Amino acid sequence: MHGVLALVVASEEAEVTAKNPILPETKEIVWAVVAFVLVFSLLAWKAWPAIKKALRDREDKIRGDLERAEAVRSEAEASLEEYNQQLAEARGEAGRIIEEARVAADQVRKDLIARAEADAADVRTRAQEDIRLASDRAIADLQTRVSDLSIELAERIVQRNLDRDTQIALIESYINEVGGTRR
Amino acid sequence: MLLAKFTFPPTDELFRWKDMVFNDSPYAINKTSFLVMTSAVLIIALFVGGSRKMKLVPSGVQNLLEVTYEFVDHGITRDVIGPNAARFTPFLGSLFLYILFLNFWEIIPFIQFPPTARAAIPAYLAIQTYLIYWYLGFRHNGFKYLTGHLFPPGVPLPLYILVTPIELVQIVFVRPFSLAVRLLANMMAGHILLTALALLTAYTLTNAPIIFIGPFLLLVGVTAFELLVGFLQAYIFTLLTAVFIADSLHPEH
């Protein structure tokens, strides 16, 4: 009995070892197929499209951000250009205003000088006129005085018989008198 | 001799697992199938769950999902098939993740077995790739797909006696076979190597402590190396699938 059992066990072992471990076994193929089909179908259905979409979304986001940044940059550059232009215009305008002011001030100065010169000339003319008038008046006064004295002298000569000594004395006294009045 | 009593278990013990559920039926679940289904659940949880609320500024899991997508979409699909081939990214991405997760079980503590070291998985994946590139080839090019391959232009007439059978064997047999065997052999070899080093480390720790450090350092180094192999094999399988698809769409290149 033991011998038979031993024989059966031995034959079973022989059968197991007789199978080449390199040859594929049906039961393992079955589960390999089931597993791969599950992995492929579920990943192709759920995982791969989601991952692909996430990657594409990020790519789009980055591209969009870069494009927007580029647009903002060129806009800023345009603004800067505009400001620079406005600044240059303002500087030009300021220069022009200063130049105009300088010209106006120059003109005012020239006008003032001309008017001052004219006034001075006027004053001088008037002074000369005054001097001339005073001089004329003095001469006229003198003439009147001389004629009065001459008349007076003539009256005195006529009133006396005059000898020579008397005449000289008379003339001297007259001259003295005139000199006294002149002083 | 220090290792005189060291024995290595039979290969069967490293690769064949007892059924856990539905014993002896065509859909019985053993360790391999359990890990395959667990991987599927993990991938779906990570990718479907993680992509539910995608934000404009990524953080955490979303970074991982995006890096994976871009790695497949840019590094494989667009590079190999062309700029307008985005429709293949879901398939290639799923294929890459599937193989990657299965490969990584090789170095997960207490699991330490890559289901891709069982012929069933690489064989199934290679046949799947094979069917896809034949289908695409005929759909896009008609019968010219086959004649273009068997009678490449610019070859002197007598040489077709040599070229045509080689090309036939190449597209009918060599392509899927090499695709499957590359993945299978790499993962099998890695698993055997890690098992051997782990057993050797355990054996020397108790029986020959003098040389314990040798197998131990090798075990750590090879584990790190297998991480690289696991990634690389997933990448190569996906890349070659993309190459075959590209060849089916534009066989003249």
Domain boundaries, chain A: 32-182
> Which of B27, B51, B97 has the CB atom closest to A39's CB atom?
B97
Average pLDDT, chain A: 85
The identity of residue B247, as a single letter, is D
How many residues in chain A?
183
B58 part of contact set with chain A, CB < 8 Å: yes
pLDDT of A102 reads: 95
Stretches where chain B sits below pLDDT 70 are 1, 252-253
| Preferred mutation among B51, B59, B127, B182 to probe A, highest tally of A CBs within 10 A | B51
Q: What is the pLDDT of residue A5?
A: 41
Residues of B whose CB is below 8 A from A48 = 69, 89-90, 93
The C-alpha atoms of residue A17 and residue B10 are separated, in whole angstroms, by 9
- Residues in a beta bridge with B21: B29
B10 touches chain A (CB under 8 A): yes
pLDDT for the residue A7: 39
CA distance B55 to A20: 51
Interface of A with B in 108-167 (CB under 8 A): none
Picking from B122, B128, B108, the residue whose alpha carbon sits closest to that of residue B234 is B122
- Looking at the predicted structure, is the pLDDT value of residue A10 above 50? no
Q: Quote the tokens at residue B59.
A: 């953080």
- The reported pLDDT for the residue numbered A14 is 43
How far apart, in whole angstroms, are the C-alpha atoms of residue A106 and residue A100? 10
CB nearest B120 (choices: A24, A44, A50): A24
Give the per-residue pLDDT at B13.
81
B33 vs A: CB within 8 A: yes
How far B106 CA lies from chain A's nearest CA (Å)?
A: 17
Provide the phi-psi class of B174: left if phi over 0, else alpha when psi is between -120 and 50, else beta: alpha
Q: What is the pLDDT of residue A3?
A: 41
Which phi and psi angles does B227 have, rounded to 5°? -60, -45
Whether B77 has its CB under 8 Å from any CB of chain A: the answer is no
Whether the pLDDT of residue A18 is over 60: the answer is: no
A23, A27, A54 ranked by CB distance to B33: nearest: A27
Other beta carbons less than 10 A from residue B33's beta carbon:
29
Return the structure tokens found at B230: 């696991």
Yes or no, beta carbons of B51 and A39 under 8 Å apart: no
Rounded Cα–Cα distance for residues B65 and B91 (Å): 15
Would B4 be classed as within a structural domain? Answer: no
Q: Does A62 touch chain B (CB under 8 A)?
A: no
The 3-state DSSP class for residue B29 equals: strand
Interval A6-31 mean pLDDT:
64
B27–chain A nearest CA distance, Å: 5
Kindly determine whether residue A47 and residue B125, on different chains, have CB atoms separated by under 8 Å: no
Asked if A30's CB is within 8 angstroms of B10's CB, the reply is no
State how far the Cα of A132 lies from the Cα of A121, in Å rounded to an integer. Answer: 16
Residue A1 has pLDDT above 70, yes or no: no
Query: Closest Cα of chain A to B116: distance in Å?
Result: 10
pLDDT one-digit tens code per residue, A125-150: 999 999 999 999 999 999 888 888 88
Q: For residue A126, give both structure tokens.
A: 């008037």
User: Considering CB atoms only, which of B40, B69, B94 is closest to A52?
Assistant: B69
Whether residue B119 and residue A24 make contact (CB cut-off 8 A), yes or no, is yes
Name every chain B residue with its beta carbon within 8 A of the beta carbon of A40: 90-91, 94-95, 98
Residue B56: closest C-alpha in chain A? A58
Q: B14 contacts in A (CB within 8 Å)?
A: 21
A182 pLDDT band, cuts 50/70/90, is low
Cβ–Cβ below 8 Å for B29 and A21: no
- Indicate the number of domains in chain B: 1
CA distance B18 to B150: 45
Range of the structural domain that residue B136 is part of? 11-249
**Per-residue pLDDT tens for A38-91?**
999 999 999 999 999 999 999 999 999 999 999 999 999 999 999 999 999 999
Contact (CB, 8 A) for B72 and B57: no
